[in-house]
Structure 1
Amino acid sequence: MLRSLLAICLLILAPAGAARAQDSAYTTDATHAVILDFETGQILFSKNGDEPMPPASMSKLMTVYMAFEAIRDGRLSLDDELPVSEEAWRRGGAATGGSTMFLEPNTRARVGDLLRGIIVQSGNDACIVIAEGLEGTESNFADAMTERAHQLGLTSANFENATGWPHPDHEISAADLARLAALIIEEFPELYEIYSETDFTYNGIRQFNRNPLLGVVEGADGLKTGHTEESGYGLVGSAERDGTRRVTVFNGMESGRARADEAERIMRAAFTEFEIVELVQAGEVLGQADVFMGTASVVDLRAGEALTVGVHRRERADLTAEIVFEGPLRAPVLEGDPVGQLVVTFPGGRTETVPVEAAESVPGKGMAGRAVSALVHLIRGN
C-alpha cells in the first residue's frame, strides 16, 4: 500500500487516477511541431515531434553543423576557397530552378561566402561544394552527416544528401531538429550570428533571408526555412528574451504565408504560454510504502533525482502523478534501494518519470519477529 504525500510544496499534481484523456491546451495546424527550452533541453510542446519527417532545406542545419565543426577543428577556415564542380553547378545551380547561390562552375568560393550562401540564401550549390570539400562526394558527406547525427544523439536522422532535396529515406524528427539547432547555438555562438543576417549578395545577386521571424518577433535570430511539395512549408526558429531562449520547429504548412503566420504565433506562445516547472527535487520524500518482515512497518520513499518539466500554463492543474512499484517491500530494505518510478502524466498522454528509492534502511526482523509476522499474515489471509 502507498500512502501518497504528493501534496508537498503546493504540488500541482492531482491525485493518481484522475482523468488523463484531455486535449493539449495548445494546438497548431502544422503536421509536426516542437517547442524546446534551450537552457534545460526540455520539450515544452510536441505534435508528432518524435516522428521522422521530410525536412527539406531544414536539413541544411546538419550541413552547416558539419562545416562549423570542421572550422572549429582546424580542418577548414572561413578564408579557405573551395572549387565549384560541374556537379555542384548542375545539381544546385541556377538552371535547376531550386534555391541557389548562383555559383559559377569551375570557379572557387570562400567558405565564409558559402556558409552565407547556405544560411541566408539556402543555396543547394553551396551545400554540395561544402560536401565535396569535406568528404570528396555529396554521397560520402551524407553518410558522414548521418553518422555524426547519431553520435550527437539525433537518432531519427537519416540523410541522403546535403541539400534536403526530396528522397524517400531523407528524414529527421522535429525534436531532433530542435536539438540540432540548440547544439549549433551552444557550440558555435560566433558563427551562429550568420543566421541573423537578413541578406547576402554574391555574384552581383542580392538575396534575402527567408526566415519570417527576423525583424518581426522580438529576439529572433535564426535559423532555417524549408519547403518541398512533399514536406510542405516548415521552419526551425530561435529567439532569446531576457536570458531565456526557445527553439521552435514545425513543418507541413500549406503556403509561405501560412508558415510566416504560424512561425510568429508559435514563437510568441513559446515565451508567453509555456513555462519550466520543477515538480520534484532530488531526495524529496514522495510517500510511504509498507514493509513486510521489517523492524518498521513502513518506509519513506524519495525521488532519486529531480524532475523539471516544460508545461503549458493552463495544463499545470491537470497533471497527474502516481508512484508505481510492487509492494509491500520485503525487508531488509537498504537506503537508496530502487523501488519504482514516479510517473507524471500530462494532458494528451505524454509522461515523464523519475526513479523512486527507499529513503532509509529497514532491517529485517529476528527469528521470533518473523514468526509472529508470518502468523499474522496467515490469519489475515494475505
Structure 2
Amino acid sequence: MRSLVLAVATLVSATPAPALGVDDYQTIAPFAYLVDAGTGTVLYGKNSEAPMMPASTTKVMTAEVIFHELKEGRLKLDDKFVVSEHAWRDGGTRSGGSTMFLAVNSSVRVEDLLRGLIIQSGNDAAITLAEGVSGSEEAFARRMNDRAKAIGMAHSNFTNPWGRGDPDHRVTASDMARLAEYVIDTYPDLYKIFGEREFTWNKIRQPNRNPLLLMNIGADGLKTGDLAESGFGLVGSAVQNDERLIVVVNGLKTARDRANESQKLLAWGFRTFEERALFAAGETVGTASVFGGTQSDVSLGTTKPIRILVPRGSGDRLSGRIVYTGPLMAPVARGTEVARLVISRGATELMETPLQTTEDVGVGSLQRRALDAGIELVSGFIRERLARH
C-alpha cells in the first residue's frame, strides 16, 4: 500500500474557535458516531469501531435486504407471506418483546410487514419476512451478511433478523451509519417508512419508537433498539438546511438517555460545523505510479465535487493523503477506481473518498517495461529491508 501526501489549502480563517470545539465534546453514550452524509466527514466518534450488540437496530439491515429484493424485482409489495407458529410464538405477544401482533397462519402483505418491522419494531414481522424470503432465519441471516459485505460493513456479523441477543451478532457504530446512509441514498421512496409516525395493525395502533421524530429537529428515521445485554441504542438521521447528519449511539442506560444524547449530538453537529470545498468535479487531485506504461504515472480525480465539514471559525489546517496499492499495472483505463483520498485534521481522519483515473495509460515499450521492472525490484528490496527494522 502506497500513500502520497499532498498539501490541502488552509480552509479556515484565523477567527478563534468556538468555546465547544471538536475535541471538547463529550457524550455519556459508550458507543457514539456522527457523520455528515453529504461529504462523508466524520464529526464525532467514540468506540465507533468496537463491536457492539445492535438489538432491534438490526431491523435496518433486515429492511435493506427486503428493499433490495423489491428493487431487483424478485419481490413485490403486494406479495403475501404466511405467519408461522415460530414467528407468532417467538416474535409475537407471548414472547414479551416488541411485536406487530400478527395472527398465526395469517397471510400478510410485504408492505404491511415492512411497516410492522420499521414502525412497530415487530419481531414477528422480522421473522415472517425472513422466512418468506429465505425459508428460515438462519438462511436469511446469511443473506444479511452478504448484503452487509456488499455495502461495505466490514466489521459486522448478523445471526438473526430481529436483534435477538447472540455473542456472534455484532456490529460497529460506523458500520451502522454506513448502512443508514446506503438505505437513505438507495431507496428514497421506501426509506420514507422510517419517518411515519404510527401504524395500526390488528386494530392496535402503535407509535413509531424513534424519539427523534417528535423533536422538531428535521429527523426522518431510522430505528431504536434495546436489550439487557446491549443497553439502549439508536440509529438516526436528521436534515437541516439541506445538510443530513447520521447519528449512532448505543449502550445507554435508559430510553431518556438515548433520546437526549442522540438529540444533543445532532444539535452539536449542525451548530458546530460548516462545509468547505476541496476539489471540483473533474479536477486533478494527484497521481498514482504506473508500471510498464507509456507514462510513469496517471492522474487521479473524482466525478463529483469533494467537500468536507470543518469547525466554524477554526484555525486548524487539513492534510490529505492518497492511498493506493501500487504501482498500477498498465494498461490502465480511464475512470477506474484505483485509490482513496484520506483527509485528516492532525492525527484524526475526517473522511475518505474514492479516486478514479482521469486518463488512459497504454502498455509501454519493452525497454520501458524492463526499466520499470528494475526500479520496482530495487524499491521492493528497500521496502522489505525497512520493514524488518
Establish whether TM, by shorter chain, passes 0.5: yes
Q: What residue is the counterpart of 1:250 in the other structure?
A: 249
1:86-106 C-alpha deviation (Å, 9 max, x unpaired): 111121111110111111111
Q: Aligned partners of 2:144, 2:321: CA distance in 1, in Å?
A: 41
Q: What residue is the counterpart of 2:110 in the other structure?
A: 111
Identity %: 44
> Structure 1 residue 200: deviation in Å?
0.9
Specify every segment of 5 or more residues in structure 1 that has no aligned partner in the other structure, as ranges: 15-21, 286-302, 325-340, 356-382
Q: Aligned partners of 1:187, 1:163: CA distance in 2, in Å?
A: 22
> Structure 1 residue 152: deviation in Å?
1.4
1:172-193 C-alpha deviation (Å, 9 max, x unpaired): 1111111111111111111111
CA contact (8 A) 1:13 1:319 kept: no
Structure 1 residue 206 corresponds to structure 2 residue 205: yes
Specify every segment of 5 or more residues in structure 2 that has no aligned partner in the other structure, as ranges: 15-20, 287-298, 323-339, 356-389
Structure 1 residue 317 corresponds to structure 2 residue 315: yes
Q: What residue is the counterpart of 1:62 in the other structure?
A: 61
Q: What residue is the counterpart of 1:147 in the other structure?
A: 146
Q: What residue is the counterpart of 1:360 in the other structure?
A: none
- Matched to 1:235, the amino acid is L
Q: What residue is the counterpart of 2:331 in the other structure?
A: none
Q: Aligned partners of 1:107, 1:151: CA distance in 2, in Å?
A: 34
Q: Aligned partners of 1:232, 1:118: CA distance in 2, in Å?
A: 20
Structure 1 residue 43 corresponds to structure 2 residue 42: yes
- Matched to 1:147, the amino acid is D
Query: 1:68/1:13 Cα in 2 relative to 1: closer, same or farther (>3 Å)?
Result: same
TM-score, scaled relative to structure 1? 0.73
Q: Aligned partners of 2:60, 2:204: CA distance in 1, in Å?
A: 23
- Matched to 1:237, the amino acid is G
Structure 1 residue 28 corresponds to structure 2 residue 27: yes
Q: Aligned partners of 1:7, 1:162: CA distance in 2, in Å?
A: 44
- Matched to 1:317, the amino acid is G
Higher radius of gyration, 1 or 2:
1
Q: Aligned partners of 1:238, 1:169: CA distance in 2, in Å?
A: 27
1:231-280 C-alpha deviation (Å, 9 max, x unpaired): 11111111122222111111111101111111211121221112333457
Q: CA RMSD in A?
A: 3.4
> Where do residues 1-382 of structure 1 align in structure 2 (5 Å cutoff)?
8=9, 10-12=10-12, 24-279=23-278, 283=284, 308-313=307-312, 316-319=314-317, 321=319, 345-346=344-345, 349-350=348-349
Q: Aligned partners of 2:95, 2:253: CA distance in 1, in Å?
A: 23
Matched residues, number: 316
Q: Aligned partners of 1:342, 1:188: CA distance in 2, in Å?
A: 27
> Structure 1 residue 323: deviation in Å?
8.5
> Structure 1 residue 284: deviation in Å?
7.3
> Structure 1 residue 71: deviation in Å?
1.3
CA contact (8 A) 1:36 1:247 kept: yes
Q: What residue is the counterpart of 1:338 in the other structure?
A: none
Q: Aligned partners of 1:353, 1:142: CA distance in 2, in Å?
A: 29
Q: Aligned partners of 2:92, 2:173: CA distance in 1, in Å?
A: 28
Query: 1:322/1:161 Cα in 2 relative to 1: closer, same or farther (>3 Å)?
Result: closer
Q: Aligned partners of 2:228, 2:345: CA distance in 1, in Å?
A: 34
Q: Aligned partners of 1:322, 1:158: CA distance in 2, in Å?
A: 32
CA contact (8 A) 1:99 1:124 kept: yes
**Secondary structure at 1:213 match in 2:** helix
Query: 1:55/1:311 Cα in 2 relative to 1: closer, same or farther (>3 Å)?
Result: farther
TM-score, scaled relative to structure 2? 0.72
CA contact (8 A) 1:212 1:263 kept: no
Query: 1:213/1:152 Cα in 2 relative to 1: closer, same or farther (>3 Å)?
Result: same
- Matched to 2:315, the amino acid is A
- Matched to 1:248, the amino acid is V
> Structure 1 residue 28: deviation in Å?
1.2
**Secondary structure at 1:221 match in 2:** strand
Q: Aligned partners of 1:234, 1:138: CA distance in 2, in Å?
A: 23
Q: What residue is the counterpart of 1:327 in the other structure?
A: none
**Secondary structure at 1:214 match in 2:** helix
